Amino acid sequence: MRVAFSLFVLLASFVLGSAQTPRTLEKINVSGTECVRLLEWCDANGLKLLWTKKDEDLRATNRFHKLYFSVDSRKTEIDGVIVLLSSPIFTRNGVPLVSTIDLQTAIHPLVYPQQLPKNRIQTICIDAGHGGKDTGKIDPNGRDKKFEKTYTLLLADEVADILEKQKFKVVMVRSRDKTVDLSERAEVANRAKADLFVCLHFNSAGDRGVRGLETFCMSPAGMESSNAGGGRANVGTYDGNVKNSENMVLAYQVQKSILKNVGMEDRGVKRARFEVLRDAKMPAILVEGGFMSNPSEAKKIYDPAWRKRMAQAVVDGILAYKKMVHPEDQLVAQKPIPAEKDAKKKTARD
C-alpha cells in the first residue's frame, strides 16, 4: 500500500507539472530581471499562496508540498530544505514576483521534476576533492595536521562501495593520494560517459562556530553564484548548464537525505560556477559535508562510523533522485552482490 501511494504521489506531481511551466505565464520586468507573479504560478500548478506575515513572508502549499518565501530574500524553503535562489522575491504594488530563471531552474523542477525515461542512471563518477600536492583544508584545531584530501577520499571510497552494492558502475576521479588538476576532474566523468557526477569536499571558515551542510549545483547562465550574493552577472552558458534542472534536483535530494539521516545544520542548496560543475556534461553536484574548522564537526568527519552514515546518506540521495526522474527503474529489482565481492573494500592511501 505504501509503495502504491508513493507512486500515486509521484505520478500526480508529474501530471500537474507537465504543462504549467513558467514559460506560459505573463512576464514582468523588475530592474532588468524577468519575473512572473508568484500567485499565478501557484494557481497554475495547484498550490495555494498565502501571506503568513503581510508584505514579508509567504507560504505556498498543496497536498504534497510546502514552500516558504520571504520578500527581498533569496532564501526559500522547499519541503523542509533551504534553497538559495538566484534572485530575491520582489514585490510590485504589494504583488509578490519571482524570477523566471528561479522558477525554471529551481522551484518548478523541485516541485514537479521531469521524467527522463530514455536516460537511465548506470554509471556514477565520484570525485574525492583535492589530493596530492593539493591538501585542501587543514584542521587548525589539533596538534596533528589533518588534511581535507584524506577524508574526502575515505568518504568517496565508502560512497563507491555502497553504490557498487546497488549494481551501479562507479568511476573514481582518484582512488589514491595523487594530484588531479581541476580541469581534468569533470573530464574523467565526461570520458566515462557517466550519468551523474558527485564531488565530495569538506568546508572551513575563520569562525570556528560556523558549521553545517551545503550542496552546490551549477549557477544558471546570466546569474551570479550564491556566495557572491546572487543577482545578474555577465556570464554565458557552459556545458554544466545543459542539465540545470537535473543539477538542482540531484543537489536537493542529496542535501535532503544528509539532513534527514545525518542531522546537520542546513546551510542550503546553493549555486556556484566551480570548474568541476562548469565542465560536467551530466547532472553534477559538489557536497561540502561539514566544517573541519568547527571542532564538533571535525570530530565527526574523522570518525569512520560517521563517514559511513554520511556515505549512505549521499547514496540514498542519489537513489531518491533516480526515483524522481526515472520512476520506471523502481520496477527493476536490485540483485544482491556476491558475498566475496561485498568483502572487498577500497583503502585510502593518503
| Mean predicted confidence (pLDDT) in 10-25 | 52
List 172's β-bridge partners, or say none. 126
pLDDT confidence tier of residue 328, bands split at 50, 70 and 90 = low
**Whole-number pLDDT of residue 15:** 42
At 209 the three-state DSSP class reads: coil
Distance CA 129, CA 114 (A): 30
For residue 133, pLDDT beyond 80: yes
Number of H helices, E strands in the chain: 11, 15
**Whole-number pLDDT of residue 22:** 63
List 78's β-bridge partners, or say none. 67, 81
Average model confidence (pLDDT) across the chain: 88
Please determine whether the domains at 2-111 and 123-343 fall in the same fold group of CATH. no
**Whole-number pLDDT of residue 118:** 66
**Whole-number pLDDT of residue 330:** 55
pLDDT in tens, 142-179: 667 899 999 999 999 999 999 999 999 999 999 999 99
For residue 6, pLDDT beyond 70: no
| Mean predicted confidence (pLDDT) in 271-276 | 97
Give the Cβ contact number of residue 82 at 10 Å: 20
Residue 320's identity, in one-letter code, is A
Give the Cβ contact number of residue 236 at 10 Å: 8
pLDDT confidence tier of residue 338, bands split at 50, 70 and 90 = very low
At the top level of CATH, the class of 123-343 is alpha beta
Q: For the chain, how far is it from start to end, CA to CA, in angstroms?
A: 48
Pick the CATH number of 2-111 from 2.60.120.260, 3.50.50.60, 3.20.20.60, 3.30.457.10: 3.30.457.10
Helical (H) or strand (E) element with 171: strand 169-172
For residue 344, pLDDT beyond 70: no
Stretch among 67-81, 185-199, 229-243, 321-335 having the lowest mean pLDDT? 321-335
pTM of the model: 0.88
| Mean predicted confidence (pLDDT) in 90-95 | 95
Domain extents in the chain: 2-111, 123-343
For residue 327, pLDDT beyond 60: yes
**Whole-number pLDDT of residue 326:** 78
For residues 340 and 185, the model is more confident at 185
